[in-house]
Amino acid sequence: MRSQRIIRNICSAVIPSLRRRVIEHAPAASIAASLSQPVRYATSSSSKRWLERQRNDYAAKQAELKGLRSRAGIKLEEINTKHNIFQSGQTVVDLGYAPGSWTQIAVEKTAPYGRVLGVDIIPALPPKGASTMQGNFTDLRVQAEMKRFLANPRRGRLLRPQVTTEEEGAVKGEVEVASQTYIEQERAMMKDEEEWAAKAGDTEGGENSVDVVLSDMLEPFPMVEGLSKMSLSKPYRLMATSGHTLRDQVGSIKLCNSALAFSIDVLKPGGSFVCKFYMGGDSKLLMEKFKQVYNKVSITKPKSSRSVCYPSLVLLFLTPLEP
């Protein structure tokens, strides 16, 4: 009886939903067994529906074929095909990058000399070729750190071309890369960053440093389950939407306002801003703000966007910025 009570207490502190579903009627042994089997979630009827939908979803299949971390990357590809946002060598900032498929697309489209900086409030493995920070984007100290990163045009950028084919290797950099060890390359990069930090002092900088700002942030919802996924390779996904339309719209618009202010600070004239938000509520007001700042404002709903109970729109803003 005592051991059952101890386990019950641990469970109630860690996984409230399990407490409700399992503990009330289960003996201690089966409680322990169920704790070691998070697969439970995958067998619920909503998870089955989700798996079924993923199986029949062309964007999910495409994403899997391309090795993307989620189907969201296919939406960004569609937007890029339509509006031609990315060029090789650009600097891209991805706000709310986790799990990382927009970042993956940005890295691919700006290769080999581009640089991509992702920021997210949850921990997630940085996609290959990108730099990432973990923090709450709405915190101005996090934004200051990002601006300091962006101010140094060499930071986060591959200084020498990646040798991918024999032909490319023969053109540039092959001898230099081959003659340097990994440690030597790391040391050179650290020296460069130290010199830059000494030169820049405490200033944030970062104005006119970014070609594309992406924002796919959604207002996080408090964690209620899924804590077992809290790892770098399999991060816990903050629940994206709460199911309460107005709450989600308000949260999404708040994050867009933050991203808009940041984009004004860092975007180069002629740069682009891609921002997702839920239409409704104050979104008309937000649109007016965007129109005051950007020359061209275009609303687009990618083919691969799922139709949800209220329309989720991806907005594309093309500059130049007004003086």
Contact positions vs ligand SAM (CB under 6 A): 69-70, 72-73, 96-102, 119-122, 136-138, 216-218, 220, 238, 240, 255
Catalytic residue among 276, 284, 291, 303: 276
Q: Which is nearer to ligand SAM, 120 or 211 (CB)?
A: 120
* β-bridge pairing 91-95 and 115-120: parallel
Q: Catalytic site residue 276? A: yes
Q: Which is nearer to ligand SAM, 169 or 235 (CB)?
A: 235
Helix (H) or strand (E) holding 274: strand 267-278
DSSP state letters, 45-84: HHHHHHHHHHHT-HHHHHHHHHT-SSTHHHHHHHHHHHH-
Which residues in 141-163 are b (16+ Cβ under 10 Å) and which e?
A: ebbeebbbbbbbeebbbeeebeb
- The CB-nearest residue to ligand SAM is 96
DSSP state letters, 238-262: PBS--S-HHHHHHHHHHHHHHHHHH
In whole angstroms, the minimum distance from the beta carbon of 258 to ligand SAM comes to 8
Tokens of 40: 């439970």
- Residue 129's SS3 state is coil
Q: Which is nearer to ligand SAM, 267 or 314 (CB)?
A: 314
In whole angstroms, the minimum distance from the beta carbon of 235 to ligand SAM comes to 8
CB of 85 closer than 8 Å to CB of 56: no
In whole angstroms, the minimum distance from the beta carbon of 128 to ligand SAM comes to 14
Q: Which is nearer to ligand SAM, 26 or 218 (CB)?
A: 218
For residue 45, count CB atoms less than 10 angstroms from its CB and return exposed for 0-12, middle for 13-18, buried for 19 or more. exposed
Four-residue CA torsion sign, 50, 51, 57, 58: positive
Separation of alpha carbons 149 and 93, rounded Å: 11
In whole angstroms, the minimum distance from the beta carbon of 253 to ligand SAM comes to 13
Q: Which is nearer to ligand SAM, 20 or 82 (CB)?
A: 82
In whole angstroms, the minimum distance from the beta carbon of 213 to ligand SAM comes to 13
Give catalytic residue positions.
Answer: 276
